[in-house]
Amino acid sequence: MKLTVKPISNSDGVFIFLLEKENYPDHYYKYRNLILMINDQNYYCLKLLSEDKVLGYALLLKSGPDLELIRLTIKKSEQHQGYGQWFLQYLLTTLQFEKLFLEVNTTNIIAQKLYQANGFAIIRTIDKYYGQNNAIVMEYKK
C-alpha cells in the first residue's frame, strides 16, 4: 500500500472537520477555524492518503525556526496499523525546523509512547490544560 502526503485544500474542510469531531469530541476545532488554518501560510495542513482515501491529517504551526504539532490524527477505523508512526516519521524527516513541540494529554498513553519512541523528550507538564487533565509538553530536536 503506497502512502502519500498532500496539502489539505478547502474542499477537504468538511471531511477534516468530521474527523476532528470523531477524534476530539470535547476539543475539536470549528470548521471556520480549520478553513482559516488551511489558508494561513503560517500553518502546514497535510493529509495522509492511501490511494485517494484520506487516512488522517496533521496541523502544524510555524514559529520562527520551530514548529508546533497541533494535530496528528488518524481516522479511528484506521488506527493501530502503523499509519501514525509513518506519518510522524514523514513530518520529522521532510519538514524543515530546528525544534518541534507538542502537547499531549496525560491520559493519552499511546500517543506519549509514539512520540517518545520517535525521539521526543518531555520538557514540562501544564496543569489542567485539557479541562481536568494535564498536558505533557514534548520537544523533538533535529
Neighbours of 16 (CB within 10 A): 24
In the prediction, which pLDDT does 82 show? Answer: 96
Specify the number of domains making up the chain: 1
CATH number of the domain residue 46 falls in: 3.40.630.30
**CB neighbour list of residue 52: distance below 8 Å, 6 or more residues apart:** none
pTM above 0.85, yes or no: yes
For the beta sheet containing 66-74, the strands, ordered from the edge strand earlier in sequence to the opposite edge, are 3-7, 43-50, 53-63, 66-74, 99-105, 133-141, 121-130
* 10-residue mean pLDDT series, the chain (142 residues): 95 94 88 96 98 96 97 95 97 98 95 97 92 93 94
In the prediction, which pLDDT does 135 show? Answer: 94
Identify the CA nearest to 19 among candidates 10, 28, 11, 7.
28
In the prediction, which pLDDT does 129 show? Answer: 84
Strand pairing category for 66-74 and 99-105: parallel
Structural domain of 26? 3-141
100-125 confidence digits (pLDDT tens): 999 999 999 999 999 999 999 999 99
